[in-house]
């Protein structure tokens, strides 16, 4: 007969896609009862009764436990964590509150970062998002570059996002059908954001928890440049997101980009690849100029042992398209820069799953202690 330990071990590979950890580790397995006839009853405790991922748990628990030798039937029941238990769970996750369903249906989160500003990180974010959407994916963009927000402009969308009766914020739809959320929607036109640490942290947390993203294949985050607090906060709140680094070709820029990589490593995020932007310029007579040097993207990719997903040339129409709110991959998909970005988007698709990660095995190593980097959260 199967033992309770074996059932627990099987349940350890059922991952809560929203909290991105095993339900065993999260203390969400309320009870396991094993009958003599091989029937196993498992009760899973949810954070809210209307948890939209209930059916994923049901299916995942039944599959994992049902695969054990000696198990003839699996019955999955649900209850809800008490307020004290929820608080304990929030404490365990090291943050002020729990997201309640907002990211439950987001299959992949990709953070686009860079060592410094001006390398084209936002241009890549908006174009990659539009390229993924053009490929039939449901895509959202979250503008986390709070001080330098540019997604509304680059994806051609403005206005105030509506709020539902449940006080959830609905993202606006930008070019190519990409859902967009940005601090830019909440400030007066082109007003500077002067929020300090705690307010910034709270805003980012709200964007993650209170925005009704719905079902998404990809949520792309435009990170602030560098390795500041916001980047670290985000990485901690979204431990299973992937990190993509944008850099320019000059070898001297690699040290700066490598710092972003170092941060991703420290907070235990997987680096999915590198995009080299501003990679050569072809003049109208066909002459090629390496204005920002060459080879840096490949060097960084080799150093980090990750793929170089694309080399995007310097192109005036890429800038013009961004300024007019219609990414080049939408307005002129045949342009060389658009083609290079579309290729990078295909690289992202190849490196990310299409299914919600409920059936994934848990990460083999325990998460590192991130306590030292915890940021102050307003209560
Ligand atoms: P970051 O987000 O890294 O600060 P941006 O995406 O805002 O950088 O890009 C900075 C400027 O460079 C923008 O005006 C943008 O249109 C332009 N730009 C970015 N990449 C290219 C490129 N490959 N060719 C031409 N202009 C580019």
Smallest CA-to-CA distance from 104 within 46, 30, 38 is with: 46
CB atoms within 10 A of CB 274: 29
Residue 226 beta carbon below 6 angstroms from any ligand 1 atom: no
Q: Quick check: CB of 247 below 6 Å from ligand 1?
A: no
Q: What is the CATH number of the domain that holds 328?
A: 3.40.50.300
Nearest residue (CA) to ligand 1, atom 19: 120
* 251 vs 178, more confident: 178
Looking at the structure, tell me whether residues 11 and 47 fall in a common domain.
yes
Ligand 1 mean position to 150 CA, how many Å?
Answer: 11
Is the same domain home to 114 and 83? no
Whether residue 278 has its Cβ less than 6 Å from ligand 1: yes
User: What per-residue confidence (pLDDT) applies to 132?
Assistant: 97
User: What's the rounded Cα separation, in Å, for the pair 277 and 288?
Assistant: 15
Q: What is the model's pLDDT at position 87?
A: 77
* CB 16 less than 6 A from any atom of ligand 1: no
Q: What is the pLDDT of residues 102-142, one digit of tens each?
A: 676 788 889 999 988 899 999 999 999 999 999 999 999 99
**Rounded percentage of the chain residues whose pLDDT exceeds 90:** 48
Shared domain check, 113 and 58: no
Q: Are residue 185 and residue 42 in the same domain, yes or no?
A: no
- In short, whether 123's Cβ falls inside 6 Å of ligand 1 is yes
- My answer on whether 172 and 279 are in the same domain is yes
**Tokens 């649900």 label which residue?**
78
- Is 122 a pocket residue for ligand 1 (Cβ < 6 Å)? yes
How many CA atoms, within 13 angstroms, populate the side-chain half-sphere of residue 185? 26
Shared-domain flag, residues 84 and 123: no
Q: Which of 93, 120, 154 is the last residue of a domain?
A: 93
The ligand 1 atom at the shortest distance from the C-alpha of residue 125 is 6
Report which of residues 141 and 215 the model is more confident about.
Answer: 141
Q: Is 148 exposed, middle or buried (0-12, 13-18, 19+ CB in 10 A)?
A: middle
Residues 309 and 211 in one domain: yes
In a domain, 379, yes or no: no
In the predicted structure, residue 263 carries a pLDDT above the cut 90:
no
Helix axes 121-134, 316-323, angle to 10 degrees: 80
* CB-ligand 1 contact for 126 (6 Å cutoff): no
Domain match, 254 and 216 both? yes
For the CA of 313, the nearest atom of ligand 1: 23
For residues 129 and 19, state if they share a domain.
Answer: no
Which residue is it, tokens 């009870």?
A: 31
* Domain span including residue 41: 4-93
182 with 219, same domain: the answer is yes
Q: What local confidence, expressed as pLDDT, does residue 120 receive?
A: 95
Nearest to 60 by CA among 364, 363, 355, 365: 355
Q: Using CA positions, which residue lies closest to atom 17 of ligand 1?
A: 319
Residue 216 inside a domain? The answer is: yes
Q: How far is CA 270 from CA 121, 152, 257, 265, in A?
A: 18, 28, 15, 7
Is 78 part of any domain?
yes
What mean pLDDT is predicted for residues 307-327? Answer: 96
Mean pLDDT of the chain: 84
Q: Give me the helix-helix angle, 336-350 and 121-134, nearest 10°.
A: 70
Q: Say what the pLDDT of residue 335 is.
A: 94
Rounded Cα–Cα distance for residues 227 and 239 (Å): 16
| 319 within ligand 1 shell (Cβ under 6 A) | yes
pLDDT tens profile 329-361:
999 999 999 999 999 999 999 988 765 544 333
- Indicate whether 213 belongs to any domain: yes
Per the structure, how many domains does the chain have?
A: 2
287 domain residue, yes or no: yes
Between CA 16 and CA 53 the distance in angstroms is: 8
* 110 and 68 in a common domain: no
Cα 122 to ligand 1 centroid, rounded to whole Å: 7
The predicted structure's pLDDT at residue 197: 67
- Show which of 93, 116, 142 is a domain's final residue: 93
pLDDT for the residue 239: 67
Is residue 370 domain-resident?
no
Structural domain contains residue 210 = yes
| 369 within a domain of the structure (yes/no) | no
- Residues 10-26: tens digit of each pLDDT: 999 988 877 778 899 88
Does residue 275 share a domain with residue 209?
yes
């Amino acid at each position: 007969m199967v033992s309770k330990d074996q059932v627990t071990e099987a349940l350890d590979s059922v991952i809560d896609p929203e909290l991105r950890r095993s339900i065993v580790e999260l203390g969400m397995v309320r009870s396991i009862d094993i009958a003599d006839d091989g029937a196993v009853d498992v009760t899973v405790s949810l954070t809210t009764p209307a948890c939209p991922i209930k059916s994923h748990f049901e299916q995942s628990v039944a599959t994992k436990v049902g695969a054990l030798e000696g198990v003839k039937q699996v019955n999955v029941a649900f209850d809800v964590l008490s307020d004290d238990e929820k608080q304990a769970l929030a404490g365990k996750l090291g943050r002020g509150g729990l997201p309640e369903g907002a990211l439950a249906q987001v299959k992949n989160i990709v953070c686009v970062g860079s060592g410094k500003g001006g390398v084209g990180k936002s241009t890549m974010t908006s174009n990659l998002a539009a390229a993924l959407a053009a490929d039939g994916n449901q895509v959202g963009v979250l503008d986390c570059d709070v001080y330098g927000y540019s997604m509304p402009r680059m994806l051609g969308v403005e206005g105030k996002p509506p709020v539902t009766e449940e006080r959830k914020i609905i993202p606006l739809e930008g070019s190519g059908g990409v859902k967009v959320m940005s601090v830019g929607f909440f400030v007066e036109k082109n007003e500077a954001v002067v929020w300090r640490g705690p307010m910034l942290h709270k805003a980012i947390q709200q964007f993650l928890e209170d925005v009704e993203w719905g079902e998404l294949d990809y949520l792309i985050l435009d990170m602030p440049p560098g390795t500041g607090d916001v980047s670290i906060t985000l990485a901690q709140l979204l431990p299973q997101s992937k990190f993509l680094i944008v850099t320019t070709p000059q070898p001297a820029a690699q040290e700066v980009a490598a710092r972003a990589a170092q941060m991703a490593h420290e907070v235990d995020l997987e680096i999915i690849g590198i995009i080299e932007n501003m990679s050569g310029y072809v003049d109208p007579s066909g002459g090629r100029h390496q204005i920002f040097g060459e080879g840096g993207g490949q060097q960084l990719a080799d150093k980090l042992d990750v793929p170089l997903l694309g080399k995007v040339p310097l192109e005036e129409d890429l800038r013009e398209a961004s300024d007019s709110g219609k990414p080049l991959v939408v307005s002129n998909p045949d342009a060389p820069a658009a083609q290079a970005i579309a290729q990078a988007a295909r690289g992202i698709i190849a490196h990310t799953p299409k299914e919600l990660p409920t059936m994934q095995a848990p990460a083999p190593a325990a998460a590192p202690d991130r306590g030292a980097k915890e940021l102050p959260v307003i209560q």
